[in-house]
Amino acid sequence: MDDNNKRGESRRRSENRPGSAVPGFFIYIIGFIALFAFVIFLTNRQGKAESIGQSEFERRLVKDEIKEVTLLKDPTEGKLIAEGEYLEKGAAEGIKFQAELIWSERFDALLTESGVQWTPVTQGNTLVKIFLSSLPFVLLIIIAWWFFSKQLNRAGKGAMQFGKSRAKLNQTAERVTFSDVAGIEEALEDVSEIAEYLQDPAKFHKLGGRLPRGVLMVGPPGTGKTLLARAIAGEAEVPFFSISGSDFVEMFVGVGASRVRDMFEQAKKNAPCIIFIDEIDAVGRSRFSGMGGGHDEREQTLNALLVEMDGFENNTGVIVVAATNRPDVLDPALLRPGRFDRQINVDLPDVKGRLGILKVHSKKIKMSDTVDLPVVARGTPGFSGADLANIINEAALLAARQNKEAVAMSDFEEARDKVCWGKERRSREVDERDREVTAYHEAGHALLCLYCEHATPLHKVTIIPRGNSFLGATIHFPERDKYTQTRSEMIDELTVLMGGRFAEQLIFNEITSGAAMDIRQATQLARRMVCQFGMSDKMGMLAYDSGEQPVFVGRDMGRKSELSEATAREIDIEIKAIVDSVALRARKLLSDHRDQLEALGKALLQNETMDVIAIRELLGLQSKGQIDRRMSSSESEDSVEAEPEPEPEAIAATESAETAAKPPADEA
């Protein structure tokens, strides 16, 4: 009995789900077909009238087969059109006919003798008759149009209302405030004024201040731009409209501009309020940047946005907050004061910011006493707020999968590695030869990382496949976040990158394709040293590269190269010279410590994963001024907060793979 109740309840739930609208769709289809069949039946029932000539009409009139005739007059030719039925002798049903007649005295006399009743029809009655005959078809068209428009509106949430704004008014019970935002204190200071202005505008008006028209938040993905915009609205307790830049772009001309006007019209009715446009670069790109001209639908949408933000009308109480990670492609008219008055950089958090983010997101999970959040913050340089939230969630899922009572430090470490390089794939069948090559490849990276004084400190080495692309990895973390990098540090980094290839060559007297990513990273770093950092004595302190900014089609495609062929050739020679010099250095270091290389390679084949402390104990090495940081160690929170707040350096990972993996950091 309980099972029947459960099945009934699940059936009722399934009927209430959005997908349960499918049976209703079929009901509409069946009704449409039935109506169409009814119209066809009525049409066929009326039948087609037989066309007869005047002589045939007179003959049947004489035989008394015609009793009643409707007389229609044709005004174009002055003829008479007679409609009616004739009944042949012995027939059960009459046959409809239509005849064109010419009036004459003889015909008039024949009609008088036959005694047939004539019914004249006026022009008005003719129109009524035509309307009544076409009424079923008109009804059919109306019902069909109603049905399809309803389906389109249901499927596209108003697909027939193309010009209506798709901005969503967020009035949820869960209120986001500034206390829910961490790691971006400078950005919070900038936006706090806006929330205070919305709460008490008179405080600023008395000094002559005005409400900012717009705020543009710039930063990498996942740094909390959307969360910060919601926090402004939650702190000020005003309505919050959210929309994506792509929602303005449509295939129909004028739709985007219409949606912009409608969005601001809704905002004015709910003022004071905030309009949040995510990924505004989708609609706010520079005008006249297309390859085929500049007059297109996107530009009309941008023009409408420019007028609404700073036009003749005063949008009192409406603040536009936008977010993008490509401010370089935005139109200059959009960035001028009066539209986006303030630009706020929402950058990746430093170690202190990461600690604050971890504290906010860890409130919802149960952690053991072994968890040291300051150590986790140190071990995640280059991570965004979204990445850190994902790590905490993955750690909680890992602990739950193992039926733990609380999340441990080991769960955080495994979650971080999973987010960076993918889940361990112990089920992957790896040939023994490939395992050996991978072990010595990673051993070469790790050994050079220990012997290069300025290299990023080693964390651990593994030959367990992770993700989809690499067979092993050498993971090393920086001691602290950095703003800059010295030439010595870059040279040591290049040396470590060369370790895998020369370890393979030294042990097996053969090379593989596993160093492809190492070579690519080394080439890119050497090119930056020559072209951007001025670290080449031969090329001097000149900038030969505009940076690594992505090409903006239409603006950058037509630019000519600023380098001559001779200069480009000299750059290539200098890059090769740098790479060759560090390659010789890496080869010599590995040759001098071949016994340690072989010992570490054999240990990796046996243990698969080794941390830096185990490696140092194996090789009998003492710390050379490098600080070994393990996720399981404990450090005080005060020491983390006392550090400077530099720009994060990405996690470095040394990989052995045929194809490139996609870690969030440098690879070796």
The catalytic residue positions are 442
d(CA 648, CA 383): 8
Residue partners of 356: CB distance under 8 A and separation at least 6: 182, 183, 349
> Are residues 649 and 478 in contact, defined by beta-carbon separation less than 8 angstroms?
yes
HSE (CB half, 13 Å, CA atoms) of 65? 20
Preceding peptide of 648 cis, ω within 30°: no
Q: What are phi and psi of 580, to 5 degrees?
A: -65, -40
The structure tokens listed for 257 are 């501009």
241: Cα within 13 Å, side-chain hemisphere: 23
Strands 66-74 and 79-86: antiparallel
The phi, psi pair for 590, rounded to 5°, reads -70, -35
DSSP letter assigned to residue 621? P
How many Cα atoms occupy the beta-carbon half-sphere of 449 within 13 Å? 31
Residue 549 to residue 543: CA distance in whole angstroms: 15
The two three-digit tokens of residue 536, written as one number: 């080449």
The strands making up 95-101's β-sheet, listed across from edge to edge, are: 50-52, 95-101, 79-86, 66-74, 117-120
CA angle 186, 651, 412 (to 5 degrees): 85
SS3 629: coil
Task: Using the structure block, give the residue that is written with the tokens 């007028």.
Answer: 307
Cβ count within 10 A of residue 449: 28
Distance of CA 70 to the CA centre of its chain: 71
Task: Name the residue with tokens 């050379």.
Answer: 624
How far apart CA 144 and CA 157 sit, in angstroms, is: 19
Map tokens 């690519």 to a residue: 520
Strand partners, 119: 70
What are the φ and ψ backbone dihedral angles of 261, each rounded to 5 degrees? -65, -40
Strands laid side by side in the 470-476 sheet:
609-611, 458-462, 470-476, 652-657
